[in-house]
Amino acid sequence: MHKNLQSVRGILPGILACLAIAIPSWLAGRAVPVVGGAVFAILAGMVVALVWTRKGAADRGIRWTSKYVLQAAVVLLGFGMDLAVVVRTGAQSLPIIVCTITTALAIAWGLHRVLRIPSNISTLVGVGSSICGGSAIAATAPVIGADDDEVAQAISVIFFFNVLAAVLFPLLGKAIGFSTTSGGPFGIFAGTAVNDTSSVTAAAATWDSMWHLGSQTLDKAVTVKLTRTLAIIPITLALALRRAKAPASAAAAEGAAGEKNAPRAQSFSLRRAFPLFILFFVIASVVTTVALAAGAPSGLFQPVKELSKFLIVMAMAAIGLNSNVVKLVRSGGKPILLGAVCWAGITGASLLMQHVMGIW
């Protein structure tokens, strides 16, 4: 009991800091729906982070919020979503997901060869761009033996394009003519083209806010994104097998190139690769399906949806506070260029596939 209290006290200052940003951001999003609370929270967090460089006791709680509060928000979105709709949405988006992942990984491999970007950096940026940002990087790093500096570089690059997507994609969607009466097309676009779950939810929530769509876009985008996130498993498994089969001479060459101190690669781990919150999201949708079949009104889950949206804003505040613009600049031009080209490639592939499939 005492240990649990200490744990709560350790994260409470950071949670309160995120809450202090989330509440005015939520209210600002209500007043200016064309921007949305999630975007306000990210930008406010980034501004605060520029001056609040030493977060001290709050740091642990901020990181906890950015991870676990966001995951809780995603799980809560499962309430109110029929399981049949979840499965249908996942199946509909699968060809687009395969195309965007293939595009990003091909770009990462090509620029690695052309620009001589270090192998680990190109792999981390490639999987981070194509699958699910920081989660994919965290799952991939131990498999390929990436060190802390390489992980930090990749996450900084992915974070930068996450923020850009959260801010710019709703404007892009309006400019190119996505439906404003249905959240489906933009939800699929956000779910397949935005790097990280955090920015997927931010962009989708903004689109819902702009056009008063309730949670249509958010529901669609999260379902698509969680389907896409499952690609972590085959990708990390393939990388582990490739690394295991690599000849000793290749490992020696990597050492000569300056990777002697890189951590030793670990074997594939399903438990590490599989995001457990996806399972809870599915359980929540099963509960909804059973409740609706039993005659429960659909409005029963509306308060949970609203709580989920607020938790997303809170998680965005944490992500903004975790930003490090200085580290991004120091990471150098090549990783940023790689991230930009992957981002553009995924965006183009998603739009093209949607057009070919008649979704947009």
Interval 161-196: pLDDT, tens = 888 888 899 999 999 999 999 999 999 999 999 988
Both tokens of residue 147?
A: 């060190």
**What is the identity of the amino acid at 334?**
K
Burial class (CB in 10 A: 0-12, 13-18, 19+), 79: buried
User: What confidence tens digit (pLDDT) does each residue in 33-92 have?
Assistant: 767 788 788 889 988 988 898 888 899 999 899 889 988 988 888 887 888 888 999 899
- 194-224 burial by CB neighbour count: b if 16+ within 10 A, else e? bbbbbbbbbbbbbbbbbbebbbbbbbbbbbb
Six token digits for residue 226: 């969680």
| Whole-angstrom distance, CA of residue 284 vs CA of residue 187 | 20
**327 Cβ partners below 8 Å, 6+ apart?**
152, 156
The dihedral through the CA atoms of 49, 17, 14, 155 has a sign that is: negative
Spatial distance between the Cα atoms of 161 and 167, rounded to a whole number of angstroms: 10
266: three-class secondary structure by DSSP: coil
Q: Where are the domains of the chain?
A: 8-356
- Of the ranges 194-203, 209-218, 248-257, 273-282, the best mean pLDDT one: 209-218
| pLDDT: which is higher, 263 or 254 | 263
At residue 272 the predicted structure's pLDDT band, cuts being 50, 70 and 90, is: low
Averaged pLDDT for residues 191-202: 88
Report which of 25, 30, 56, 82 is spatially closest to residue 208, judged by C-alpha positions.
30
* pLDDT, mean of residues 189-216: 90
